[in-house]
Chains A and B, each alone.
Chain A
Amino acid sequence: MWEAIRSNKRKSFWLIVLMALVLAALGAAIGSYLFTQNPEDGIFVGVLVAMIVWIIMLAVSFSSGDRILLATAGAREIKHDDAPQLYNIVEEMKIASGLPKMPRVFIIDNSVPNAFAVGIKPDRAAVAVTTGLMSRLNRDELQGVIAHEIAHISNRDTYFMTLAGVTVGAVIILADLFIRGMFYSSLSRGRRSSRDSGQLQLIIMVISIIVAILAPILTQLLYFACSRQREYLADAGSAQFTRYPAGLASALEKISQNQSENFTKSRTLAPMYIVNPLAATGKSNNLFSTHPSTEDRIRILRGMTSGSSLKAYEKAYQGIHGGSGILGKSTLQDSKDQGIRSAQTDKHEAKKSMRDVKDILHKAAGYGLLTCSCGVKMKIPKETDYSKVKCPRCGTVHGVPMEFLSAAAIAMSQKK
């Protein structure tokens, strides 16, 4: 497992170096185009500006990227008592993976099942799941999903994908500005290139344009390839932590069957989910997808019949795709065989309804819940002025618990 993390770090390091080089090349191309009189200075300034943009974007995303993403997703933090099962499962997986600190747990109020993890360091991480996920999955399935997310954290995927994502973003922004700027400036001052522009400048111009067009495509391809590989690795990690690949497999089935186009429009957030909501319907792997196809992932997990180790995952992958595997030798170096445990959830597990899961959100938001004997659940806001509440169905009158009364209402009830 430690070997896996280390080899992952090495690969990621080179990926980032490569992307940064592309970014620098783009900066150089833009610079040499803008400073036509003095291309050498232009290259220097261009690279410098590209690096400054990159560093500013990195600083922002490292200092508050997780907060921004969680806010974009509309996630609300919960504690153990709000949703004991979810919190416990996260803690179980924290222990299984040997993370140094318990990640924070968030719930997103959305009926589409999905989950993601953020965090630039293993000791500053967060896991978020939607209410739809909680209401549809049983304990084993939920454990598989959480284990996948925790594997992303412990493999440092959340860190490197932030880094890679920011680099892609910087490349796209610069290339976009450049091409647009060139388009408009060529409209307004076409005269400049008339007299003193020699052969050299024409070549520089053509090269700059080609670089500006290719750079975003190249970095995105790198990003996607890396992202796909990491999804496989996180699936393998999930099987390894839970010792139960079938849990994640059936969770992925349920998640992919219930995706909706309207789930998120955020292109930054979409690739971070366990199943990419913007591409959930895609059937095959292609160069431009961030995740392997869900069908493929399920098939590999279902193919793990011999054990639950990373090695077993690699074997199952080879069984389907042939070839040299996906995780790589260095990742598997210290992986040892381990068995598969039996299913833990029995058929009698209480069915969680969407309503029960919503109650968690209400509790986390500070509402009180009052259950009437006829089965109706009433939501009591904090600081209410009414000391009694009537059930809308059967008409039974209930007293509101003291802790939800406003000061005035408490005084009133005491006077009586």
Chain B
Amino acid sequence: MISMIILIVVIAIILFWVVGMYNGLIRLRNQVKNAWSQIDVQLKRRHDLIPNLVETAKGYMKHERDTLEAITNARSHAVDATGSGVANQAKAESELSGAIGRFMLVVENYPDLKANQNFLSLQEELTSTENKVSFARQNYNDQVLVFNTKVESVPTNIIAGMFNFKQAEFFEIEDTEERKAPKVQF
């Protein structure tokens, strides 16, 4: 009788433990998802800003059609890549970052444009959006690291295996272009 009770208690404890670990994994996975959607929001905002920026700059930068076209193209590539997987999207977005960086370098040669009130406020929005993208990415990678560590380590890995929790992908800057390109500086 007593051994029966002990057995039931032990099973109950194990069950609670397993449920706790499972819930922990779910919570972490949701945090990863949430962090990813943050990146998406910021990338979308960046896509929305660029047409305005190009439109404002057009009037001042008549001789820089290549730069403007490059940034427009990079934007449309990035828009197309939305939802096509982490690696793909990261690549398109870092190309866009590179194009924006080059554009900002060129802007230095146009003092009139730099004095334009509309452009100034767009510039602040763009700087901030660039920051937000990288902070969101930073946060996403932090979350992925925590989640992946949990999925890999004993004893949660058993639960993760049983319920098919897969490691999440890091948002990495594959393209060396962004590293080479000067940072967006104002």
Is residue A35 within 8 Å, beta carbon to beta carbon, of the partner chain?
A: no
| Given A85-B124, A92-B128, A349-B186, A2-B146 contact (CB < 8 Å) | yes
Indicate if A98 sits at the interface (CB-CB under 8 A).
yes
A334 touches B149 (CB 8 A): yes
Kindly state the separation between the CA atoms of A346 and B123 in the bound complex, as whole angstroms.
14
CB-CB < 8 A to A98: which residues of B?
31, 35, 139, 142-143
Enumerate chain B residues within 8 angstroms of A2, measured Cβ to Cβ: 146
- CB <8 Å contact, A346 and B135: no
CB distance from A139 to the nearest CB of B (A): 8
- Total interface residues on A, using CB and 8 Å? 25
B186 engages A84 (CB within 8 Å):
no
Residue in chain A with minimal CB distance to B115: A350
Q: What are the interface flags for B135-165 relative to A under an 8 Å C-beta threshold, 1 for contact and 0 otherwise?
A: 1101100110110010000000000000000
A235 in the interface, Cβ–Cβ < 8 Å? no
Question: Can you give 14 A-B contacts (C-beta < 8 A)?
Answer: A84-B121, A88-B124, A88-B132, A89-B128, A92-B128, A92-B131, A95-B135, A98-B31, A98-B143, A139-B127, A334-B149, A342-B183, A344-B185, A348-B186
Per the bound structure, the CA–CA distance linking A92 and B121 in Å amounts to 17
Segment 102-143 of B: residues with Cβ below 8 Å from A: 120-121, 124-125, 127-128, 131-132, 135-136, 138-139, 142-143
**Inter-subunit contact A91/B139 (CB<8 Å):** no
The A305-343 residues at the B interface (CB cut-off 8 A) are 334, 336, 342
Chain B residues touching A, majority SS: helix
Type the 1/0 row for A176-194, where 1 means its CB is closer than 8 Å to any CB of B.
0000000000000000000
User: CA separation between A139 and B131, bound complex, in Å?
Assistant: 12
Distance between Cα atoms of A93 and B135 in the complex (Å): 8
Q: Can you list, as one digit per residue, whether each of B50-82 has a CB less than 8 Å from chain A (1) or not (0)?
A: 000000000000000000000000000000000
Q: A346-B185, A346-B186 are in contact. Are A96 and B138 (CB under 8 A)?
A: yes
- Inter-chain contact B142/A1, CB cutoff 8 Å: yes
Q: Evaluate contact between A92 and B145: CB separation under 8 angstroms.
A: no
Q: Kindly list chain A residues whose C-beta atoms are within 8 Å of the C-beta of B146.
A: 2, 334
Assess the B135–A336 pair: CB atoms within 8 A.
Answer: no
Closest CB in chain A relative to B5 CB, distance in Å = 33
Instruction: Verify B128–A91 contact, CB threshold 8 A.
Output: yes
Determine whether B42 belongs to the interface, using a CB cutoff of 8 Å to chain A: yes
Q: Which residues on the B side are within 8 Å of A344 (C-beta)?
A: 127, 131, 183, 185-186
* A95 and B42 contact, CB distance less than 8 A: yes
Task: List chain B residues, Cβ under 8 A from A139.
Answer: 127
Is A243 positioned at the interface, with any CB of B under 8 Å from its CB?
yes
Are B139 and A95 in contact, with the CB atoms below 8 A? Answer: yes
* Chain A residues whose C-beta falls within 8 Å of the C-beta of B142 in the assembled complex: 1, 98
Q: A98-B143, A334-B149 are in contact. Are A91 and B186 (CB under 8 A)?
A: no
B172 CB to closest chain A CB, in angstroms? 14
Instruction: Tell me how far the C-beta of A363 lies from the nearest C-beta in chain B, rounded to whole angstroms.
Output: 13
Are B128 and A88 in touch, CB under 8 angstroms? yes
Chain B residues with CB below 8 A from A88, complex form: 124-125, 127-128, 131-132
- State how many angstroms separate the Cβ of B170 from the closest Cβ of chain A: 12
Write the nearest CB–CB distance from A276 to chain B, whole angstroms.
29
B38 at the interface (CB under 8 A from A): yes
Q: Which of B31, B38, B120, B138 has the most CB of A within 10 A?
A: B138
B141 to chain A, nearest CB (A): 9
B138 — which chain A residues lie within 8 A by C-beta?
96, 243
Roughly how many angstroms separate A89 CA and B135 CA in the complex, as a whole number? Answer: 11
Closest to B145 in A: A336
Beyond A2-B146, A98-B139: 19 further Cβ-contacts under 8 Å? A1-B142, A84-B125, A85-B128, A88-B124, A91-B128, A91-B132, A92-B131, A93-B135, A95-B38, A95-B136, A96-B139, A98-B143, A334-B146, A344-B127, A344-B131, A344-B183, A344-B185, A348-B186, A350-B120
Inter-chain CA distance A408–B75, complex, in Å, is: 50
In whole angstroms, how far apart are the Cα atoms of A241 and B142 in the complex?
11
Residue of A at shortest CB range from B133?
A: A95
Distance A98 CA – B144 CA, assembled complex (angstroms): 13
Nearest CB of A to B175, in Å: 18
List the A side residues contacting B31 at CB < 8 Å: 98
Minimum distance in angstroms from B135 CB to a CB of chain A = 4
Interface residues of A in 6-31 (CB under 8 A from B): none
Q: Contact: A96 with B135, CB < 8 Å?
A: yes
Interface centre among A84, A92, A95, A344 (most CB of B within 10 A): A95
B149: chain A residues at CB < 8 Å are: 334
Q: Which residues of B contact A241 (CB under 8 A)?
A: 135
Compute how far the CA of A346 lies from the CA of B105 in the bound complex, rounded to whole angstroms.
13
